[in-house]
Amino acid sequence: MRRRTTPRAVLLATGELLLWWGALALLWLVLISTVDTLERVVGAGVAAAGALLARAGRRAVTWR
Amino acid sequence: MNGWILAATVELGGGGAAALWGVTTGPTARRVVAQNLTTAALCPALLLLAQGYGRPAYVDLALLLALLGPVGTLVFARLLHEDLEGRRPSAWGLTYAVAGVGAAVVIALCAVTGPGRAMVKLLVIGALLIGGNLIASRALSGGFRGVLGG
Quick check: is B102 in a domain? yes
Q: Which tens digits make up the pLDDT trace of A3-28?
A: 678 889 899 999 999 999 999 999 99
Quick check: is B126 in a domain? yes
Locate all alpha helices (DSSP H) within B25-116, ordered by sequence. 28-53, 58-79, 92-113
In this model, does residue B89 exceed pLDDT 90?
no
Q: Kindly state the average pLDDT of the residues B6-33.
A: 91
d(CA B53, CA B50): 6
Quick check: is B146 in a domain? no
d(CA B56, CA B42): 17
Q: Which of A30, A33, A35 sits opposite B124 (nearest CB)?
A: A30
d(CA B125, CA A11): 33
ipTM score assigned to the predicted complex? 0.76
Q: Report chain B residues whose CB lies below 8 A from the CB of A35.
A: 117
Q: Which of B8-17, B57-66, B73-82 has the lowest mean pLDDT?
A: B73-82
In this model, does residue A51 exceed pLDDT 80?
yes
Quick check: is B42 in a domain? yes
- Residue closest to B98 by CA, chosen among B26, B14, B23: B14
Q: Kindly state the average pLDDT of the residues B60-72.
A: 94
How many domains does the structure of chain B reveal? 1
DSSP per residue, A11-41: HHHHHHHHHHHHHHHHHHHHH-SS--HHHHH
- Give chain B's mean pLDDT: 89
Give B58: exposed, middle or buried? Use CB within 10 Å, 0-12, 13-18, 19+: middle
Output b/e per residue, A12-25; b: 16+ Cβ within 10 A. Answer: eeeeeeeebbeebb
Going by pLDDT thresholds of 50, 70 and 90, the confidence category of residue B88 is confident
Q: CB distance A31–B63 less than 8 Å? A: yes
How close, in Å, is residue B120 to chain A by CA atoms?
Answer: 7
Contacting A with CB below 8 Å, chain B residues are 56-57, 63, 117, 120-121, 124
User: Which residue type, as a one-letter code, is found at position B28?
Assistant: T
Domain hosting residue B133, numbered range? 3-140
d(CA B2, CA B62): 20
Quick check: is B92 in a domain? yes
How close, in Å, is residue A13 to chain B by CA atoms?
Answer: 27
Q: Which residue of A has its CA nearest to B118?
A: A30
Q: Report chain A residues whose CB lies below 8 A from the CB of B56.
A: 33
How close, in Å, is residue A14 to chain B by CA atoms?
Answer: 26
pTM above 0.90? no
Quick check: is B68 in a domain? yes
Quick check: is B150 in a domain? no
Quick check: is B147 in a domain? no
